[in-house]
Every structure is written in C-alpha cells, then in structure tokens.
C-alpha cells in the first residue's frame, strides 16, 4: 500500500481537485484494506476485492483510486444510500468490513481547527489528523455475493419480451409469465417523450 500522501496525489489527479471528501475516502479505503490484510490492491491482490460504495460523491472517487475497484470492472458496486460509507469484501476469504464516516467528524474538525474559516480547508486538515477511531465506525459483516455479482461472471443473456433489448447478469424480472427488463417491468428512471 502507498502512503496517505501518495494516495492523495493520485486521488487529486483522478478526481480533478483535492477536497475533504478525498481525504476521507482515501483514509476510509486504506483502513478497509488494512483490516482485510490486502496490501497490493492494484497488483497481486487485484482480484481479491469487491467494494460497495453508498454515495456518489467525492469520497467515492477516492475509494476507487485506493482499491482499484471500478464500476466497469464490476468490482465497484453502488448502493445509493446517500451515506459516506463503503463495504470491502475479500472474495478470497469471504470476510467483509463496512466502514462509515462518523457524523461527529465535522464537529470535531471545527473543534480542532477553529482558526480555519473555510470548511473544506478545515476538514481537509483535520481529516488527516483525526484518529481512525474518531473518524470511522467499523463493522464486520457478511455480504451475499451470488455468482452473477462477481467480476468475471459469464452467463446467458436474456432478452426483454417487451422492448427486445438484451439483459445481462440476471437482471431480468419475471412478471405475469413474461420475461422483462426492469424498465419495462415498471422500475424505470425515464419516460419516453
Ligand atoms: Zn471533491
Ligand atoms: Zn424491456
């Protein structure tokens, strides 16, 4: 594993700027890997890890930088819960740990550096200094990962009986005797105009 400073440089490059969320995300991911004993997430251990993230914000980019887990590699899973938290699953052992940023960390940053008026600057500095215990909660968990969730999964494609589009990774649903994509089954995020 690289140092915090080295990861922050990488994160700044990938994300476009350095911010409090990057510092939090890098530390969160480093702690997760450390707990699982994964030292080389982008090299020797690159197939060992699946990471669930719970927010689409700055910290998530940093988690991806440290872990090497990406959406396009199916090793990064997004659950939109709006929380600065991530779960790291070691698929070689089945061990998994969920780490969440503590709600108290912002207040603690204010307490530590009242001399810095800018919130982002204040948190950026404090999030480097605050101990893991004060910054995060840790919980060992079990994550059910069916075969179709694994990065290398190869399975049959289904075809939606309504729109005719192909569906991968067993995301089809059965409804009233029909095989449908989630959109046609009523779970759509868009409407045709
Ligand atoms: Zn940012
Ligand atoms: Zn469809």
Long-range Cβ contact pairs of 33-41 (< 8 A, separation 24 or more): 33/1, 33/66, 33/67, 33/88, 34/1, 35/88, 35/97, 35/99, 35/138, 36/88, 36/90, 36/93, 36/95, 36/97, 37/90, 38/88, 38/90, 39/1, 40/1, 41/1, 41/66, 41/67, 41/68, 41/69
When computed from its CA atoms, the radius of gyration of the chain, rounded to whole angstroms, is 19
CA 171 to centroid of ligand 1, rounded, Å: 32
For residues 147, 151, 156, 161, the Cα torsion angle rounded to the nearest 10 degrees is 100
- Residue 46, pLDDT score: 87
Question: pLDDT digits over 28-47, tens only?
Answer: 999 999 999 999 998 898 89
Q: How far is the CA of 11 from the centre of ligand 1 (A)?
A: 9
Structure tokens at 18: 């350095």
The mean predicted confidence, pLDDT, of the chain is 95
Q: What confidence tens digit (pLDDT) does each residue in 75-127 have?
A: 999 999 999 999 999 999 999 999 999 999 999 999 999 999 999 999 999 99
Residue 163 Cα to ligand 2 middle (Å): 4
Q: What is the pTM of this model?
A: 0.93
Mean pLDDT score, 121-150 = 96
* Alpha carbon of 175 to ligand 2 centroid (Å): 12
**9 contacts: CB under 8 Å, gap ≥ 6:** none
Percent of the chain having pLDDT more than 90?
A: 93
């Amino acid at each position: 594993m690289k140092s915090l400073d080295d990861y922050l440089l990488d994160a700044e490059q990938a994300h476009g700027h350095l911010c409090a969320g990057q510092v939090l995300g890098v530390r969160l991911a480093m702690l997760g890997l450390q707990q699982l004993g994964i030292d080389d997430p982008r090299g020797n251990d690159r197939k060992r890890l699946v990471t669930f993230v719970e927010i689409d914000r700055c910290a998530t980019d940093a988690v991806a930088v440290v872990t090497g887990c990406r959406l396009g590699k199916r090793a990064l899973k997004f659950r939109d819960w709006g929380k600065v938290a991530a779960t790291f699953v070691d698929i070689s052992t089945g061990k998994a740990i969920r780490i969440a940023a503590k709600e108290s960390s912002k207040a603690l940053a204010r307490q530590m550096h009242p001399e810095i008026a800018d919130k982002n600057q204040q948190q950026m500095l404090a999030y480097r200094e605050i101990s893991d215990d004060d910054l995060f909660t840790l919980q060992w968990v079990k994550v059910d990962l069916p075969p179709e969730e694994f990065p290398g999964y190869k399975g049959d494609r289904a075809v939606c009986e309504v729109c005719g589009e192909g569906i991968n990774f067993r995301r089809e649903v059965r409804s009233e005797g029909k095989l449908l994509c989630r959109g046609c089954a009523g779970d759509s995020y868009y409407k045709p105009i």
